[in-house]
Structure 1
Amino acid sequence: MNQRELQALVEKISIDSFGRPFRHQATFNKRLKTTGGRYHLKTHHLDFNPQILDVFGEEELIGVIKHELCHYHLHLTGRGYRHRDKDFKELLQAVGGTRYVQSLRSIQVKKVWQYRCGACGKLYIRQRRFDTSKYVCGECSGRLHLIGQEEI
């Protein structure tokens, strides 16, 4: 999905679910890491995390869009737009938006470095790369050799 398709989807959901037009800009923002979307109070633009669509699919993205549109429409009408406000909770329930997005932290790939002792063959896994000329095996004091990097 590109920016134009996202904009059209947000406008369609705004009309269908809220009965009001969305007249601002909706974009994907790759810098969002822990949140599904963001509503800007000053500009009224919406940002969405593209990983939500890639990892969880379009249904989850639609839930996030409804959540951010709740902030948008309530703020523009002068009602309680914050998460703790009763107006927000009621509108979110009425349109079927998601309260929380599924966690992306468990999806993130972690890279580790693997080293093997040349004498006894013991395997060492480390998060940071180190200089093998400065360190030896803790079991037999043999030389360590870098095997490579692996994703967990």
Structure 2
Amino acid sequence: MAVSVEELITEAERFLAENYDMKLGIPIKRNNRLRNTLGWFQHSDRDGALDIEINGKLMDYASRTEVIDVLRHELIHYALYSTGRSYQDGCVEFEDELKKHVVSSTDVSILFGPIVRFKCEKCGKSGYTETISVLKKHERCKTRCCKARLVNVRKDVIYGDKKEAAELCTY
């Protein structure tokens, strides 16, 4: 299910040629350190550095459709920036381009990859965390709801699309 950087480059070249009549002139990189964003278009007006970075966990666990959606979002930033148009999230011109190409707006609440599921010993409410060390040290952890012990602690992995991931986050 993993998507490679080479696949992303091929898709980027096709998307830009078909929709903006331009070539991909920047690198696309995998970034395993991204935690709060799925991808980003970086530029520096100071030294002209440009690149697109995609979240490594997203590339490993999300569906190809989701990864390509994030890539296209970043490519639209790049295309608008390159042509001197408004390219920031939230700008009317940028948001209109997203709609035109049926690409998702900024969304950082998507969960993919390894998680630890648990239940509250006191109220039975289920929860999860992306902090995998909780699996080994769950005796020291408390739930947010009741400050009680974690029970039924288990490791899980979420793969797939946004909708599927949201459904899987509940017990």
TM-score interval, normalised by the smaller of the two chains: 0.5 to 0.7
Aligned to 1:33: 35
Q: Distance in 1 between matches of 2:7 and 2:62?
A: 18
Counterpart amino acid of residue 31 in structure 2: N
SS at match of 1:84: coil
- Max Rg structure: 1
TM-score w.r.t. length of structure 1: 0.68
Counterparts in 2 of 1:29 and 1:106: CA distance versus 1, 3 Å: closer
Alignment of 1:85-96 (within 5 A): 85-96=91-102
Aligned to 1:11: 13
**Aligned CA-pair RMSD:** 2.7
Aligned to 1:125: 139
Aligned to 2:81: 75
Matched, 1:108 2:122: no
**Alpha-carbon distance, 1:10 to partner:** 1.7
Counterpart amino acid of residue 80 in structure 1: S
Q: Distance in 2 between matches of 1:76 and 1:92?
A: 16
Aligned to 1:65: 71
Q: 1:23-67 CA deviation, whole Å, 9 max, x = no partner?
A: 111011111112111111222210001222322211001111111
Q: Distance in 1 between matches of 2:38 and 2:73?
A: 10
**Alpha-carbon distance, 1:113 to partner:** 4.0
Q: How many residues align?
A: 123
Matched, 1:55 2:55: no
**Alpha-carbon distance, 1:125 to partner:** 2.0
| Structure 2 unmatched ranges of 5 or more | 117-131, 143-152, 157-171
| Structure 1 unmatched ranges of 5 or more | 115-123, 129-148
> Whose RCO is larger (CA < 8 A, sep 6+)?
2
Q: Distance in 2 between matches of 1:151 and 1:126?
A: 17
TM-score w.r.t. length of structure 2: 0.61
Counterparts in 2 of 1:99 and 1:33: CA distance versus 1, 3 Å: same
